[in-house]
């Protein structure tokens, strides 16, 4: 039986029987790890270690090859979320992104993109110039974790490129709208797109944001001056594409979308 010690995030903590917990962790290198924590729900003097979703902790555990659950031997808090500082919007997104990570992570399958989302979430200030950028970036990271992507570089039918380099080697984006095909992540330019009222449309500014996220995959490297209006238009497009790719049904999704669409529709 091998003993492992590593940093993990608590993703879910579910009551089990009278006093136990079923806890799902996320590891950068080992993906989803599940453990039954005996007497994990006790309170008072006999209270156990607090397994709060979103917190970064260190665990030492053992796993048998024939067992789906690991046995946690030791735990230590590394960095905790301050839930008292959460706004309503952040609370809604927190529930959504944790459920999304729970559904898309796999046991003992590397998950660096998902782990990076939770790392950035620990230090997020959740101000307007940052929160919408973080939501769009997080959805893009989940898409990339699943091995999916959006080919924003050219029309899938005619091959016309969506951007070019000018004489000064600066990227210039075409002023076309693009229709996103959710089945394969391809895009069609205005001359080639098929009439479909349910299709997602990517504006040139949204194509540019996706290009930036490809070029600068780290959240701290992403342009902090991307207008909130562009991000609020991009978020539901990424969400729909992601849900379709993974074929997910999330309990938290309707409240997440309604909360942020209401922000988008507020008068300026």
Domain finish residue from 32, 51, 80: 80
Domain finish residue from 47, 80, 113: 80
Name the residue range of residue 110's domain.
82-268
Question: Alpha-carbon distance 94 to 99, whole Å?
Answer: 9
CATH of the domain at 60: 2.40.50.140
Average pLDDT over residues 250-260: 93
CATH of the domain at 103: 1.20.1440.120
Domain finish residue from 63, 80, 97: 80
pLDDT, one tens digit per residue, over 102-146 is 999 999 899 999 999 999 999 888 887 799 999 999 999 999 999
Domain count, the chain: 2
Residue 47's pLDDT is 53
Q: Are residues 66 and 92 in the same domain?
A: no
pLDDT, one tens digit per residue, over 43-91 is 555 555 688 999 999 999 998 776 789 999 999 999 988 877 788 999 9
User: Given the structure tokens 């991009």, which residue do they identify?
Assistant: 234
Beta strands in 42-126, from DSSP E residues, in sequence order: 56-63, 71-79
Q: Are residues 106 and 10 in the same domain?
A: no
Asked if 131 and 90 touch (Cβ cutoff 8 Å), the reply is yes
Global pTM value? 0.92
Q: Are residues 17 and 99 in the same domain?
A: no
């Amino acid at each position: 039986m091998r003993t492992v010690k590593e940093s993990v995030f608590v993703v879910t903590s579910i009551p089990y029987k009278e006093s136990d917990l079923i806890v799902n962790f996320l590891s950068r290198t080992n993906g989803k790890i599940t453990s039954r924590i005996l007497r994990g729900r006790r309170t008072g003097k006999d209270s156990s270690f607090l397994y709060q979703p979103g917190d970064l902790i260190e665990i030492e555990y053992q796993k048998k090859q024939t067992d789906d659950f690991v046995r946690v031997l030791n735990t230590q808090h590394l960095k905790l979320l301050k839930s008292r500082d959460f706004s309503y919007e952040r609370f809604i997104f927190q529930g959504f992104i944790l459920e999304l990570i729970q559904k898309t992570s796999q046991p003992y399958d590397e998950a660096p993109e998902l782990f990076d989302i939770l790392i950035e979430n620990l230090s997020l200030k959740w101000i307007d110039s940052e929160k919408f950028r973080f939501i769009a970036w997080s959805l893009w990271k989940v898409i990339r974790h699943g091995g999916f992507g959006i080919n924003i570089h050219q029309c899938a039918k005619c091959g016309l490129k969506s951007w070019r380099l000018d004489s000064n080697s600066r990227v210039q984006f075409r002023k076309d709208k693009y229709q996103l095909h959710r089945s394969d992540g391809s895009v069609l330019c205005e001359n080639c797109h098929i009439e479909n009222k349910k299709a997602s449309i990517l504006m040139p500014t949204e194509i540019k944001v996706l290009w930036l996220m490809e070029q600068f995959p780290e959240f701290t490297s992403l342009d902090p001056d991307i207008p909130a209006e562009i991000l609020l238009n991009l978020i539901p497009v990424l969400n729909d594409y992601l849900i379709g790719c993974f074929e997910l049904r999330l309990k938290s999704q309707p409240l997440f979308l309604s909360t942020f669409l209401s922000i988008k529709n507020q008068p300026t």
